[in-house]
Amino acid sequence: MQLTDVKIIKASPDVVWAAILNPDVLMQCVPGCQSMTGSVEDGFEATVKQKIGPVSATFSGVVKLSDIDPGRAVTISGEGKGGAAGFAKGGAKVVLEPVPEGTQLSYEVEANVGGKIAQLGSRLIEGFAKKMADEFFNRFADAIEAQRVGQPLGGVDGDDDGPPSQGRGLHGHDGRRCGLSDTAGPRAD
C-alpha cells in the first residue's frame, strides 16, 4: 500500500534536514519506539511496540537512511520482525522544498506486512499504516515548530548534554517527547 501527503513546517529546510538526521528525534517521533541505536551512516537498530487491531507485538528491526540528497531528500526504510505476529517493512521517501512559510515536506510511504498481521485485512492495515505515518510526521513537525528560534536541535551540533529524558526532549502534541528543547515556546497555529 502507498500513502502520500505534504506538510508545511514553519522552519527553514536546514533545520528540518538536521532533525531528519537526528536519531533522538527519529526515535521519539516513531510511535511505540522503545529504543534506537546506531548512526545515519550504518543504520539504526530499533525496537517498536505496536497493537494492530487484536494483535499486539514488539518488533525488532533496522532503520536505514538512503538516497540521501543533502538538504533536499532522503529515503527512510525499516524492516522489523514481531515473532508470531509476523513482520512489517516499509519506507518513506521524504522531499524538502523551501516555501515562504518555511519548508514543504512531501512524503510517499510504502508499507507491507506478513504473517498474522496480514490476516487482519487490508482495510484495517491501511488505516493503521496511515495513522502511523500521520502520527510520525505530525510529531516531527510539532517538535520542529515548537523549537525556540536559535536553539539547536539536540545532539546535531555535537552538543550532547544528555538523553531527552534529561532535559533535551520536547513533548509533542500527544505528550510524547520528541527530542528537542524543553524550553521552547508554544506552537502558533
Q: Tens digits of per-residue pLDDT, 41-65?
A: 999 999 999 888 888 889 899 989 9
pLDDT at 118 (0 to 100): 80
pLDDT tens figures, 81-107: 988 888 888 889 999 999 999 999 999
Beta strands across the sheet bearing 87-99: 2-9, 102-114, 87-99, 73-81, 55-69, 43-52, 33-39
**Inter-axis angle of helices 13-20 and 122-146, to 10 degrees?**
120
**Single-letter residue type at 127:** G
Q: Alpha helix (H) ranges present in the chain?
A: 13-20, 23-29, 122-146
Dihedral angle over CA of 19, 106, 66, 177, nearest 10: 30
Q: What is the pLDDT of residue 159?
A: 36
Overall pTM surpassing 0.75 (yes/no) = no
What are the residue ranges in the chain where pLDDT is below 70? 148-189
